[in-house]
Structure 1
Amino acid sequence: MDFRDKQAIYLQIADYVCEKILLGQWPPGDRIPSVRDLGVELEVNPNTVVRTYDFLQQKSIIFNKRGIGYFAADDANDRIIAHRREQFLETELPVFFRTMYLLNIDLKEIEQRYDSFVKAEFN
């Protein structure tokens, strides 16, 4: 995994875990990789994964069954979407709108490009 400089690694790993859950690769109710396994897979210190899992437990996206491992919560998808939506609307969208305004980009052009993106990526 390639990490970005502008965000803490544990948060980037949390995004990775959430994406796996949303894509159905780690379905709600199923066991997710252990701290050690995910650390090896992503080539990070296990303590970083522990921090990630603690963060995701606080958000009730995953839970720990003592002695068995970590699991995606039954309502993980809804919680992830709510968290990401709030984060996007509060932090990323204002920057996006500012850039659109400065570059004189029309909403119709954005809509056309969005439709093309969805068609290419998800159909």
Structure 2
Amino acid sequence: MEFREKGSIYSQIAEYVCDQILLKKWLLGEKIPSIREFAATMQVNAITVQRAYDFLLQLDIIANKRGIGYFVTPGAEEKVLAFRRAQFIEQDLPLFVKNMRLLRIDPDEIKAYLENAQNKI
């Protein structure tokens, strides 16, 4: 995984975990990599992965079964979607709209672009 310069590494790891859940690569109820294992895979300090896992525990996206490991919680996909949508609307969308205004991009241009992009999927 290539880390972006913007944003903390632990939040990027949490985002990666969420992506795996949304892509159905990590299924509900499935055991996920241990902190040490994931730290080695991501080539980061175990404390960084611990912070990411703690964040995801707070959101009830993963759960820790003491002595067994971490698991994707039931309903995790919906929780990830709700969290990521709220984050997009509160953080990303305002910047997008600001740039549209500054660059004088008409909403119809964006609509046409989105329709064209959807046809390619």
TM-score, length basis structure 1: 0.93
* 1:33 CA drift (Å): 1.0
Task: Work out the CA distance in 2 between the residues paired with 1:118 and 1:55.
Answer: 33
* 1:30 CA drift (Å): 0.7
Task: Work out the CA distance in 2 between the residues paired with 1:119 and 1:27.
Answer: 28
Where does structure 1 differ by over 3 angstroms across 4 or more consecutive aligned residues?
A: none
Task: Work out the CA distance in 2 between the residues paired with 1:79 and 1:29.
Answer: 14
Aligned partner of 1:49 in structure 2 is: 49
Where do 5+ consecutive residues of structure 1 fail to align? none
Aligned partner of 1:81 in structure 2 is: 81
Matched, 1:112 2:107: no
Task: Work out the CA distance in 2 between the residues paired with 1:44 and 1:12.
Answer: 12
Alignment RMSD, CA only? 1.1
Q: Which amino acid aligns with 2:50?
A: V
Identical-pair percentage: 48
Q: What does 1:1-123 correspond to in 2, within 5 Å? A: 1-120=1-120, 123=121
Change (3 A) 1:33 1:116: farther
Task: Work out the CA distance in 2 between the residues paired with 1:100 and 1:73.
Answer: 38
What are the Cα deviations for residues 10-58 of structure 1, in whole angstroms up to 9, with x where unaligned?
Answer: 0000000000000000011111111111111111111110110001000
* 1:74 CA drift (Å): 0.7
Task: Work out the CA distance in 2 between the residues paired with 1:53 and 1:119.
Answer: 36
Where do 5+ consecutive residues of structure 2 fail to align? none
What are the Cα deviations for residues 54-113 of structure 1, in whole angstroms up to 9, with x where unaligned?
Answer: 010001000011111100111001101111111111111110000001111111221222
TM-score, length basis structure 2: 0.94
What's the secondary structure of 1:63's corresponding residue?
strand
